[in-house]
Amino acid sequence: MIRPLSISALRSALLGTCLLLAANVFARGTGDLGIVIERADGSVQVVETSTNSSLGRIEGLGDLSHASAVYSRDEQFAYIFGRDGGLTKIDIIDKKIVKRIMQSGNSIGGAISQDGRLVAVSNYKPGGVKIFDADTLELVANIPATYGDQGLQSKVIGLVDAPGQKFVFSLWDAGEIWVADMTDVNKPVITKFKDIGKNPYDALITPDGRYYIAGLFGEDGMVLLDLWNLDAGTRRILDGYGKGEKKLPVYKMPHLEGWAIAGNFAFVPAVGHHEVLVINTLDWSEAGRIKVHGQPVFVMARPDGRNIWVNFAVPNNDTLQVIDTQSLKIIKTLTPGKGVLHMEFEPRGGQVWASIRDEDRIAVFDTETLQQLVTFDAKKPSGIFFTSRAHRIGL
């Protein structure tokens, strides 16, 4: 009678462990998860926003300065684009690297297709876009950014996804915008827009995926492409974008992907100036300028569009400012600490996370009271990316 009992006890114990394991590790929704890029250590911290805690760390991702991420459509996987040309697929449930490849010598960001099947990376060296199977990370298409008569290859920037299995990107050296339709992965259809302006340095796409806008480093303006009307070609807008009484040194190029659209207004960092530009999206004209604490880097809208949060380049990168989009006034100046690099809003906007690199921590704020709710450790945190991005166009 003893043996069966002990086996039964063992079975119970093992099943208990099994259920416990399942409950703690696996049986969990992924809608409230996120990752924080820890640039110095080449690691990623997995976090959750329901109780604002850390769930673990994934290491060995290489050079993560300026790294960004996209999510698989089921939110189990994130694809991390490293500056060193590394593309790493991580499993945020099991907290491990699934696959890691060095896909180029130097890269600057990526995107995931509308259907979630394709991951695209934009490269500086060699210049072009490589497109991988999201499941296996096998190369499915290589689009070298060849331009001119000598077979030169341009650096590629401002890569975004667009509806209809498209990727849109800009060629820094060539001054071109390309739209790649990947409906048939074996036959990418590339539409090229040439002579769009000098040195596009970054770009954004509106939340509905219709307008692609690139900033021009070599000229005083921007360029807009209406993806619903490609035949109309590109159009210059905001010729006063970088204008001012005197030129200021640019401490950090602003990130265009952080541009905020709220109602009919877009809020954008003025290059080099201590200003946020307000743009009327009905005709893409300048609608005003808001004086701010420093040179803006990210200008981000709370998901309901009622407030805009702004961080700044050195020497003002210890500060965050909050702008009311009705009055266009600054309603709060926060100084969370040195090196505020990035912000990420909860998808419904109740809280916002900020990475404070030089203090090795993340701070979470209530977006109504504008009070800090909690702070926790992270190793030189930079980008913060929540899984809700999986369901957004252009993110």
Residues that bind its own copies (CB under 8 A): 3, 6-7, 10-11, 14-15, 17-18, 21-22, 25-33, 48-50, 71-77, 93-94, 114-116, 163-165, 183, 208-210, 228, 262-264, 282, 303-306, 326, 347-350, 368, 387-388, 390-393
* Cβ pair 182, 143 in contact under 8 A: no
Q: How far is the CB of 213 from its own copies (least distance, A)?
A: 16
Q: How far is the CB of 4 from its own copies (least distance, A)?
A: 11
Cβ proximity to its own copies: between 198 and 392 the closer is 392
Q: How far is the CB of 104 from its own copies (least distance, A)?
A: 26
Cβ proximity to its own copies: between 150 and 369 the closer is 369
* Cβ pair 44, 61 in contact under 8 A: yes
Which two three-digit tokens encode residue 133?
């199977």
* Cβ pair 378, 37 in contact under 8 A: no
Sheet of strand 330-334, all strands in order from the earlier edge strand to the far edge: 296-301, 307-312, 320-324, 330-334
Q: How far is the CB of 56 from its own copies (least distance, A)?
A: 15
Residues 375, 112: Cα–Cα separation, whole Å: 31
Cβ proximity to its own copies: between 301 and 310 the closer is 301
- Pairing mode, strands 275-280 and 285-291: antiparallel
Cβ proximity to its own copies: between 93 and 253 the closer is 93
Q: How far is the CB of 305 from its own copies (least distance, A)?
A: 5
Q: How far is the CB of 265 from its own copies (least distance, A)?
A: 12
Cβ proximity to its own copies: between 165 and 382 the closer is 165
Which two three-digit tokens encode residue 291?
């004086």
Q: How far is the CB of 124 from its own copies (least distance, A)?
A: 28
Cβ proximity to its own copies: between 134 and 177 the closer is 134
- Quick check: helix, strand or coil at residue 17? helix
Cβ proximity to its own copies: between 197 and 209 the closer is 209
Count, residues in the chain: 395
Residues 137, 206: Cα–Cα separation, whole Å: 28
- Quick check: helix, strand or coil at residue 349? coil
**C-alpha distances out from residue 63 to 35, 203, 257, Å:** 16, 23, 21
Q: How far is the CB of 31 from its own copies (least distance, A)?
A: 3
Residue 7: which H helix or E strand, with range?
helix 2-21
Cβ proximity to its own copies: between 135 and 360 the closer is 135
What burial class does residue 291 get, using C-beta atoms within 10 Å of its C-beta: 0-12 exposed, 13-18 middle, 19+ buried?
Answer: exposed
* Dihedral in degrees, nearest 10, Cα atoms 327, 328, 330, 336: 120
Residues 326, 105: Cα–Cα separation, whole Å: 45
